[in-house]
């Protein structure tokens, strides 16, 4: 199992949130990345717009739950995205309007973000317990949590 999946499963257990296979999978590698039908290409401009409108984190939380809790088949159809957007404190029409008015700008914003991620190394140290890796200092609390689940007592 690769590190990302190990970390994902552990983190949702730690947070007590549901996780299931998304339907459709937004990481669809059967479609070209620039296909207008690609779910990620549909979500990226909405997320950028939500951030520009001051509700990026809220929008990301609602969309991530919609996509990744595994309970909705066809999360990208019907009014699921609209309802998730409303739970985030926005209106889908406002987000779509922002995207339309920034049609040239949002792809540049996405490219700049991706370039910044590629430029920086994203985490050390690596800690391993029972062959389970914990990558980055932001996972120290998760390692402590896992150790406590296995009987480690905190020392004063």
Look at residues 7, 106, 5, 10 and name the one whose alpha carbon lies nearest to residue 52. 106
Which one is predicted more confidently, 117 or 92? Answer: 92
In whole angstroms, what separates CA 141 from the centre of its chain? 20
Alpha-carbon gap, residue 143 to 41, rounded angstroms: 34
93-128: pLDDT as tens digits: 999 999 999 999 999 998 888 787 677 555 567 788
Over the stretch 25-78, which tens digit does the pLDDT of each residue have?
A: 888 778 887 787 888 888 999 999 999 999 998 999 999 999 999 899 999 999
Would you state the pLDDT for residue 122? 56
């Amino acid at each position: 199992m690769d590190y990302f999946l190990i970390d994902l499963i552990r983190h949702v257990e730690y947070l007590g949130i549901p996780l299931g296979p998304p339907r459709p999978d937004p990481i669809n590698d059967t479609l070209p990345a620039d296909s207008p039908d690609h779910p990620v290409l549909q979500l990226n401009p909405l997320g950028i717009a939500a951030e520009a409108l001051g509700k990026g984190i809220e929008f990301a939380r609602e969309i991530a739950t919609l996509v990744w809790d595994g309970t909705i088949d066809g999360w990208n159809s019907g009014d699921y995205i609209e309802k998730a957007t409303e739970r985030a404190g926005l209106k889908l029409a406002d987000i779509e309007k922002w995207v339309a008015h920034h049609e040239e700008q949002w792809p540049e914003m996405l490219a700049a973000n991706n370039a910044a991620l590629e430029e920086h190394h994203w985490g050390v140290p690596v800690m391993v317990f029972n062959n389970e890796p914990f990558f980055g200092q932001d996972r120290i609390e998760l390692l402590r949590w896992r150790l406590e689940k296995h009987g480690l007592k905190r020392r004063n």
